[in-house]
Chains A and B, each alone.
Chain A
Amino acid sequence: MLSWAIRSLLAERGALVASAAGVGLALLLAVVVEGIFAGEAEQIVAYPRLAGADVWAMQEGVANMHMATSFVHERRVDEVRALPGVAAVEDILYVNGFLETAGDEWFVYLVGLRDGGSYGGAWAAKAGALRPGPGEVVVPEVIAKKSGVGLGDRVGVADEELTIVGLSSGTYSMANPVVFMHRSDLGVVLDAPRSTSYLLVQVDPGVRPATVATAIESAGLELAAMTREDFVASDRAMAMHMGADVIALMSGVGTTVAALLVAFTVYAGVIRRRRELAVASALGASPRSVLAAVLAQSVIVTALGYAGAIGFALLLRPLLRVGLPEVTVLFSARSLLEFGGLSLGVALLAAWIPARRVARLDPAEAFAG
């Protein structure tokens, strides 16, 4: 019966292609939207994730970068550095602000860096320097490309004019592109010359970051401290409000509609072959065989559509990277497998309902047409 099911499908190649394409297109929409959501959800916390800190220390009561301001006296840097288990401390000044580039205004994270630090700045450069000096700025390559500015061009932050000395990679997200400047320049903008915002702590080898975070909070320095993982999770939860959960909603809509379309396509395919299946039943095929054949056909159609959707989605990713660099798309094996499981489940359910009816048809009805 299985070979009959396959031959029956192949006999109507046009219908097979149309059904598989219908399933594939519906899944393609869901997979790509989910990929964009996953990409943005990762990129939105790129800085706390990749800045190089094992532990983040900040003003008491603060647990985020997004929508938060943290100010602590800069003497805390040395005090934290002296705590057991602490290998290194870099401190940054930080505020949300606007970057003016050739007539465009970009909402950005402004991060002020000290001279000579080894981490806390951009982690990958497309061109130029990773860390700016006084009067200099490192901007995301995406902003530079979109605004038509490059190394040596002047951009504005508040009333300060700064020269671009570096184009960073991986520092752009739709909610919070990260711009690096010298802390003396940001200190002027913030009018906070003796303050710092966050302490980026690296721990000694073999020491658990959570232990150091607890030690910082217990040291009577009026500081909050979180491991990188906790800080990233906390910041992600807040930053998701900044647009990423719109994409999450769109992803939900896309997945729901995809599931509906998969169900319609498979259901319609079974209905179209109803007479043929009834004839098979009349010729002696058991109801179980008929049911198995229908389900097998549905699995084949869905698998073909799924494979096509994944193939196109993977093909689309490098194209988007070139054509639309401000959009980050991330396909995880887990989410792709989840989509496979979902589409298969929906397809089997959609096929099961009409297949049971066909399997119970009186054989006489088949020949009566």
Chain B
Amino acid sequence: MLQLVIGTLRYHGGRTALSVLALAAAIAVMLLFEGFRSGLWGQLRAMPEQLGADLVLSQSGVANFAAARSSLPQKTRRAALNVEGVASAHALTSLPIIFERHDVATPVQVIAYVDVGAPARLAAGRHIDGPREVVIDRSIAIDHALAVGDTLEVLGWEFEVVGISSGTAAMFTPAVFARYLDLVELYASGDLPDEVASDTPLLSYMLVRLEDDAQPDVVRDRLEAALPWADAHTPSELGQADEAMGRRLMGPVLGLLVGLSYLIGALVVGLTLFGSVQARVGDFAVIGALGGDARTLSAVVLGEALGLTAISFLVGLVGALTGAAVIEWIQPDYVVSPLAEGALPRTALAVLLLGGLGALWPLRRVLSIDPALVFKGASC
């Protein structure tokens, strides 16, 4: 049976190739749309999760890292260090600005940190080691043609790019990492542009590291009791809150797009397999005339459909992964993850269901053909 299926698919090579390409295109679009959505949620989660802290203190009532405006009083660090179980506390300021270079404007988040808060992954260069140095997200480097060693102007001051980070863009905003001391000096120098200075908190978050034997939940309660102006979160909680915010804002649109891609993609798969079987009703009728019963015919039709689908799935997967790489190259702000969050089994299920239906639909016609007519060359 397998030989028959493979032989038939190979015999009709041109038609098989066409069907595979059509099916693969439909499968690729489902996986790519899933990839866009998963990539966005992943980016939102990743940014606060890589802060390198056990707990993060924010202004009371602020539960997000992305797009949030948190302002903590300067007494926060000392108060945090007085709490039992806290090993160290590190200031971090998160500042949204519009970075402009050579007439290209990009919204970026300046993240100024002390010791803790550096990007987790570097694509090139090194971490900040001295004054007036920055690490920029990969997308800023690509969009503005910047490399390690170049200088750029942030908030009116010149900085040297010493590293390029990856996975440091969230809520569509890539990050620029700088030394906290540079921000303080900039603020004190009076050089900070008015539009920024008027709305700049000097301390947005406090990154807290715990003593080795400390229980995070216990220390969190102690911190919130001792610092009533602050809330304590684990980085993972901030990541989840950012993802939830992204899902609330963009979930309906992306859900609709992904749903449409499934609906239409699966229908295209069904229709293509329907067309493929329909075009070869005569061949199947010959098998029937040669003694193949309904079971055999069903197995041949389904076997061919399954073979086509399997090849197409592989081609579609390769297409989706290639497409994702091309999109990330064109638009480095985005991560496209076609394999994340169960996209593969979901797509496979949709394709198998509609594909099976599309292949079996014309089977009724095959089974109803009089074998005697087949060899007379009657229209099938």
A binding-site residues for B, Cβ under 8 Å: 14-15, 18-19, 21-22, 25-26, 28-29, 32-33, 36, 40, 59-62, 64, 66-71, 95-98, 104-107, 146, 156, 158-159, 174-175, 190, 192, 195, 237-238, 241-243, 245-247, 249-250, 253-254, 257, 260-261, 264-265, 267-268, 271-272, 320, 324, 326-327
Asked if B275 contacts A22 (CB within 8 A), the reply is yes
Interface contacts beyond A67-B96, A242-B172: sample of 18 additional A-B pairs, CB < 8 Å, sorted by A: A15-B278, A22-B272, A59-B195, A68-B98, A95-B69, A105-B63, A105-B245, A146-B248, A241-B106, A242-B107, A243-B253, A247-B257, A249-B36, A261-B22, A261-B268, A264-B21, A268-B15, A268-B18
Q: When chains A and B are docked, how far (Å) is the Cα of A174 from the Cα of B250?
A: 6
**B171 partner residues in chain A, CB cutoff 8 A:** 242
Tell whether B260 is near chain A: CB-to-CB under 8 Å: yes
Q: In the complex, A192→B198 CA distance in Å?
A: 9
B241-262 CB mask vs A (1 if < 8 Å, else 0) is: 1001100111011101100110
Asked if B98 and A241 make an inter-chain contact with CB atoms under 8 angstroms apart, the answer reads no
Tell me whether B260 and A320 are in contact (CB under 8 A): no
Closest beta carbon of chain A to B39's beta carbon, Å: 9
Find B256's partner among A71, A261, A324 (CB 8 Å cutoff): A324
Tell me whether B260 and A33 are in contact (CB under 8 A). Answer: yes
Query: With A26-B268, A105-B64 in contact, is A241–B107 under 8 Å at CB?
Result: yes
How many angstroms between the C-alpha atoms of A33 and B21 in the bound complex? 22
- Contact in complex: B36, A241 (CB < 8 Å): no
Q: Which residue on chain B has the smallest CB distance to residue A29?
A: B264
Given contacts A243-B172, A250-B33, contact A25 B278 (CB under 8 A): no
A59 to B63, CA, bound (A): 30
- Nearest residue (CB) in B for A32 is B260
Q: For the complex, what is the distance from the CA of A92 to the CA of B331, rounded to whole Å?
A: 35
- Report the Cα distance A243→B43, complex, angstroms: 13
Provide the residues of chain A in CB contact with B61, threshold 8 Å. 156, 158-159
8 nearest interchain CB pairs?
A67-B107, A264-B22, A69-B199, A29-B264, A71-B198, A257-B29, A326-B252, A260-B25
Partner of B195, one of A19, A61, A254: A61
Task: Give me 10 A-to-B residue pairs in the complex whose CB atoms sit less than 8 angstroms apart, sorted by A's number.
Answer: A69-B195, A156-B61, A174-B250, A190-B199, A192-B198, A242-B172, A250-B257, A254-B261, A268-B19, A327-B252
Summarize A's interface: helix, strand, loop or mixed. Answer: helix
Q: Taking the complex as formed, is B271 at the interface, i.e. its CB lies under 8 A from any CB of chain A?
A: yes
Interface status of B279 (Cβ within 8 A of chain A): yes
B residues 59-77 touching A (CB-CB < 8 Å): 60-64, 67-69
What is the minimal beta-carbon distance from B337 to any residue of chain A, in angstroms? 13
Are A104 and B248 in contact, with the CB atoms below 8 A? yes
Q: How far is the CB of A309 from chain B (nearest CB, A)?
A: 10
Compute the total of residue contacts between A and B using a CB distance below 8 Å.
171
Contact B331 A29 (CB under 8 A): no
- Asked if residues A14 and B278 are in contact (CB atoms below 8 Å), the reply is yes
Measured in the bound complex, the distance between the Cα atoms of B257 and A250 in whole Å is 8
Q: Do B64 and A22 touch (CB < 8 A)?
A: no
- Decide: A249 and B331 in contact? CB cutoff 8 A: yes
Measured in the bound complex, the distance between the Cα atoms of B28 and A253 in whole Å is 10
For residue B194, CB closer than 8 A to chain A, the reply is yes
B105 partner, pick from A159, A192, A237, A272, beta carbons under 8 A = A237
Let me know if B271 and A21 touch, CB within 8 A.
yes
Distance A304 CA – B67 CA, assembled complex (angstroms): 47
Q: Are A36 and B249 in contact (CB-based, < 8 A)?
A: no
- The interface centre, meaning the residue of A61, A104, A156, A261 with most chain B CB atoms within 10 A of its CB, is A261
Report yes or no: B279 in contact with A272, Cβ–Cβ below 8 A: yes
Contact with A along B336-355 (1 / 0, CB 8 A): 00000000000000000000
Q: Are A22 and B268 in contact (CB under 8 A)?
A: yes
Residues of B with C-beta under 8 A to A249: 36, 327, 331, 334
Which residues of B94-110 have CB atoms within 8 Å of chain A's CB atoms?
Answer: 96-98, 105-107
For A238, the chain B residues whose CB sits under 8 A away are 98, 105, 107
